[in-house]
Amino acid sequence: MLESTVLRVAELPFACLQDLLRRYDLELHRVEDGADIPGSFWGNPEAGVIAHNVYVRDDTPIHSMLHEACHLIVLPPERRALVHTDATDSDIEEDATCYLQILLADLLPGVGRQRLMADMDAWGYSFRLGSTQAWFEQDAGDARQFLAGHGLLELRQSVSCAA
């Protein structure tokens, strides 16, 4: 799979994505095509974060939107309020973010964990076992523990919207 084939924000109903993030008290904002994405750590087209806001363009990969949103989800509210662009400096929070974004992909019609993990690999995510799926299945116990300890493994049902 090539980087250009990853699933993008424009390919899903925006209201569907907003609904998912609102469940975690986050607001999703669409940025105009060609405009810089506020709070983007890696630069366009990667998603950006500022406090409880996630910023995307139509060409933003779904994996990037989910990843940046999950950075905010794993943070306590007092830390979330201080985030601007760089959401964490903690390895366990990074691992928990990656794990949670895979779980949340299952809640989005037309996405799912298999597609998201393939997109993560295509984009260049790097795990010591070689692939996102191998990490998720064999090496992410610390991430699961972190998420369980923060009540984040109990996911709500899928969002309902036309894919």
Task: DSSP for the chain, please give it.
Answer: --GGGS-BGGGS-HHHHHHHHHTTT-EEEEPPTTSPPTTBSS-TTS-EEETTEEEE-TTSBHHHHHHHHHHHHTS-HHHHTT-BS-----HHHHHHHHHHHHHHHTTSTT-HHHHHHHHHHHHT---TTSSHHHHHHHS-HHHHHHHHHTT-SSPPPPP----
95 part of a folded domain: yes
Question: How many domains does one find in the chain?
Answer: 1
- pLDDT for the residue 156: 73
Predicted confidence (pLDDT) per residue in 15-50, tens digit: 999 999 999 999 999 999 999 999 999 999 999 999
Residue 102 lies in a domain: yes
Range 59-81 average pLDDT: 96
Domain that holds residue 8: 3-149
Asked, for residue 52, whether it belongs to a domain, the answer is yes
